[in-house]
Structure 1
Amino acid sequence: MNDVDAINTIVGRNLVAQRKARGLTLDQLAQTSGVSRGMVVQIEQGKTNPSVATLCRLANALVIPISKLIEADSRPAAYKTKLSEASELWRGVAGGRGRLITGFDDPSVLEFWEWRLSPNECYDGIAHPSGTKELLFVNAGTLTVTAGPVCETVDSQEALVFCADVPHRYANDQDREVVFMMVVVEPRSVVRPGGGTFA
């Protein structure tokens, strides 16, 4: 079994556990997440390598950070994570990458990421649940962030906070790599389509 197969197996096992812990059927999770039932089945069986967008949709529907889907074991009260061991969940065609370093889901859902975008590369993020915010800090380069009607240029050593409950884009329009750290914070209690609140 290679690394991708091992991760797919872990994701599948965790997705089943999280879905059942919330008393959701496959059809309910598919409807709430917008991911097809067939794809949910494939992921739960460890037979496919889901994209970061698909993992985001599933995590949003379950009100958990993506890290809950990719962690191999439960974690103790205090733990460290090395950047070198972060899970790469996105790889751009020009060599950029998005790595999920760590996250938790209590008292809020929080994810901590490192992103690298090559020159003229971008990543389009889906809308997170209502009330979600992102905080990012640019280590090197210049990043353009578009979130709904908002468009901001963030230079090296600058931070930006924005509402991420709309489709958003990170873009590197420059001729050198941009590196930034990002925190996603989602409210813990979210009302889902069709009623009901997850807390």
Structure 2
Amino acid sequence: MEEIQKKIGEKVKSLRKLRQLSLDQAAIRTGVSKAMLGQIERGESSPTVTTLWKIATGFQVSFSSLIQEEESNISIVRKDSVTPIRENDDKYRVYSIFPFDARKKFEVFLIELLPGCHHISEPHPEGVEEYITVMEGSLTIEFAGEEHEIRKGESLRFVPNQTHTYQNKGSEVVQCHMIIYYP
């Protein structure tokens, strides 16, 4: 069993127990099946980004709190030391660079989208804001029926309170930094 699967499973089980929920109740709250939640808790399944978002939203916690590691006073994070969450046939990769910090109310991710990637993201809780800066390539975000193209060196801020998509319509890898702020 991969270490990250085990850590995610322990966090999910801990959150469920803390809230005094059965697996049935947690499944209703998160929209993730009882069987899948059980597999995740036992470290038998590697949840997708979408599944982790459903769990985080259902338990009203940040995404990165599900994969958070212990914190020290100074942190240097190297991409190759972070295990990404992968989705869409490995075309969408999420690296949790700085997990959620309740004092600061934000988390920082490095996101990679390979050519042809089309990732659909569920709505986030009210008041949450996303800040995205494209470091390489060109990212297309569809939100509220409109497409927005963000190129290398450009940034976008929006309130992701409805379904939105991230797309790489180009021929090179898109790499962007994402900060998610929780009020």
* TM-score above 0.5: yes
> TM class by shorter-chain length?
0.7 to 0.9
Tell me how far 1:79 sits from its aligned partner.
3.8
Name the TM-score, length of structure 2 as normaliser. 0.87
Structure 1 contact 30–40 (Cα < 8 Å) conserved: yes
Moved more, 52-61 or 146-155: 146-155
Alignment-mate amino acid for residue 151 of structure 1: E
**Structure 2 stretches of 5 or more lacking a match?**
none
Instruction: Report how many aligned residue pairs link the two structures.
Output: 183
**Aligned equivalents of 2:12 and 2:125: distance in 1?**
19
1:9–1:32 CA distance, 2 compared to 1 (3 A): same
Q: Percent identity?
A: 28
Structure 1 contact 134–183 (Cα < 8 Å) conserved: yes
The answer on 1:60 being equivalent to 2:57 is yes
**Aligned equivalents of 2:54 and 2:105: distance in 1?**
14
The answer on 1:151 being equivalent to 2:147 is yes
1:96–1:50 CA distance, 2 compared to 1 (3 A): closer
Match of residue 197 from structure 1: none
Tell me how far 1:91 sits from its aligned partner.
4.2
Name the TM-score, length of structure 1 as normaliser. 0.81
Structure 2 contact 92–119 (Cα < 8 Å) conserved: no
Moved more, 78-87 or 170-179: 78-87
CA deviation profile, 1:128-174 (whole Å, cap 9, x unmatched): 11222111001121111012223211111010001112111111112
1:18–1:148 CA distance, 2 compared to 1 (3 A): same
Alignment of 1:153-192 (within 5 A): 153-187=149-183
Alignment-mate amino acid for residue 98 of structure 1: V
Alignment of 1:31-180 (within 5 A): 31-71=28-68, 73-76=69-72, 78-93=74-89, 95-107=91-103, 109-180=105-176
Q: Name the Cα RMSD after superposition.
A: 2.1
Moved more, 113-122 or 79-88: 79-88
Tell me how far 1:22 sits from its aligned partner.
2.7
**Aligned equivalents of 1:74 and 1:172: distance in 2?**
33
**Aligned equivalents of 2:49 and 2:105: distance in 1?**
17
CA deviation profile, 1:58-112 (whole Å, cap 9, x unmatched): 11222222332223x5334554433222231124437442222221241465321
**Aligned equivalents of 1:168 and 1:94: distance in 2?**
19
**Aligned equivalents of 1:109 and 1:22: distance in 2?**
21
